Structure 1
Amino acid sequence: MVMPWAFPPFPDDNPSQPTNEESAQESEDLRLAALVAQRLSIDWITRRQQITITVQNRVVILAGMVANVETRRAAGELAWEVPGVVDVCNALQLYGQRRSRR
């Protein structure tokens, strides 16, 4: 009886295992998220706000609630200032502001 190779036959062929390039990208995204979080926590306008920072492919996504428009703008500008960031999606909402339902 002959047994075929078990899937995957080679470690490099495992699609669920991240490649070196994917691991490097994830590390870079984590580094950028930490730098943006540090910037926001240091700035007196943004430090006490409920802001969630996510980074995907060097694109920063800001989500959560902030006190006013100035804080929202400042958070976006601070994220843009971090070297390596290629785009910022500022999805921050103001307290008391609700989305309209249609």
Structure 2
Amino acid sequence: MPWPLPDENWFGDTSNQPEPDREDLRIEALVAQRLSIDWTTRRQQIVVSVQNRVVILAGVVSDPNTRQVAAELASDVPGVFDICNTLRLSGPRRSHYHG
């Protein structure tokens, strides 16, 4: 790989980076909607983000079943490539569950 010339700005201004992909935004909205409607997940603290069609679930849920249901609801949205489920369990059971 050649060294950059002094007038080449390889690491500078990132203001002309592309906006989030429309498909990612669509998926994010659909997943959030499904989670807010489903009786298992609607009262949970779940944050949804999407990058390159991979849904990232973050936050705190009450039990392992809710964590699993959230991932299943997200995976049922058309266009989802994968799920990154980082949901944590609230309360003392958190340290006993490895899923």
TM range (shorter): 0.7 to 0.9
Moved over 3 A (4+): none
* d(CA) in 1 for partners of 2:32, 2:79: 14
Task: Give the alignment partner of residue 33 of structure 1, picking from 28, 32, 35.
Answer: 28
Q: Secondary structure at the match of 2:21?
A: helix
Higher Cα Rg: structure 1 or 2? 1
Alignment deviations for residues 24-63 of structure 1 (CA, whole Å, 9 cap, x no partner): x621111110000000011000000000001000000000
* d(CA) in 1 for partners of 2:27, 2:52: 10
Equivalent residue number for residue 69 of structure 1:
64
Task: Give the alignment partner of residue 37 of structure 2, picking from 42, 59, 72.
Answer: 42
Structure 1 unmatched runs, 5+ = 1-6, 8-13
TM-score by length of 1: 0.73
* d(CA) in 1 for partners of 2:84, 2:73: 12
Measure how far apart 1:15 and its partner are. Answer: 6.6
Structure 2 unmatched runs, 5+ = 1-6, 8-12
* d(CA) in 2 for partners of 1:74, 1:84: 18
Equivalent residue number for residue 87 of structure 2:
92
Q: Secondary structure at the match of 1:17?
A: coil
* d(CA) in 2 for partners of 1:95, 1:37: 20
* d(CA) in 2 for partners of 1:34, 1:16: 25
Measure how far apart 1:17 and its partner are. Answer: 1.9
* d(CA) in 1 for partners of 2:15, 2:61: 38
Instruction: Report the aligned-residue RMSD.
Output: 2.2
Identical positions, percent: 60
Measure how far apart 1:16 and its partner are. Answer: 4.1
